[in-house]
Amino acid sequence: MTDVFTPTLETPWRILLCHKHPVSARLRFLVPENPKAGVVVPESLPPLCVVAEPDQQPNVQSHPATALNLLKQRMPNLDPEFEICSEYQLYLETSEGLMPVYLATLNGHNLCDIPEGMRWMELTQSIGMPWLDREILRRAYEVLVG
């Protein structure tokens, strides 16, 4: 079993932000404006990471709400209504161990204001992105829409 990620990078986790409209089920992702930054925040993915197999997940895990609270501190313009989606569980295998990717959703009918350096994106706009970014989005879609 691979050890839990030991941070030498600034952040030992990543978060995918999204909004699912409660009536239409239209799904949008709040991603960095720069396409090379990928689809997660607060940093892009480390190089050469891959999706970890389910049996590689660590026995001891940190609570994702801690990561979301830290993200809200780093991005003060982020809507405080984002909440962790506990059904989304994804670990990436990196050169330094396992790194969790959490999903935070914005509930309600309206999109939030866009923080500086971010943009709203739909799944269909991910065509042409790296495979791992598309896979992270696809898994979120699968959890939220079915």
Compute the distance between CA of residue 99 and CA of residue 13 in angstroms, rounded to an integer: 6
| 70-100 per-position pLDDT tens digit | 999 999 888 889 999 999 989 999 988 899 9
| 95-122 per-position pLDDT tens digit | 888 999 999 999 888 888 889 999 999 9
Contact between residue 6 and residue 99 where contact means Cβ atoms under 8 Å apart: no
What string of DSSP letters covers 25-64?
A: --EEEEEESSGGG-S-BSSPPPTT-EEPPGGGS-SS---H
Percent of the chain clearing pLDDT 70 (strictly above):
90
Distances (CA, A) of 91 to 28, 33, 113, 132, 139: 22, 24, 29, 12, 12
Residue labelled with tokens 């949008």:
28
Average pLDDT taken over every residue of the chain: 87
User: Residue 35's pLDDT is what?
Assistant: 86
User: Residue 5's pLDDT is what?
Assistant: 36
CA 40-44-50 angle, to 5 degrees, is 85
User: Residue 91's pLDDT is what?
Assistant: 94
Structural domains in the chain, sorted by start: 14-144 (3.90.79)
User: Residue 82's pLDDT is what?
Assistant: 94
| 41-54 per-position pLDDT tens digit | 999 999 999 999 87
pLDDT at 3 over 60: no
E-strand spans in the chain? 14-20, 27-32, 50-51, 82-84, 90-94, 97-106, 118-122
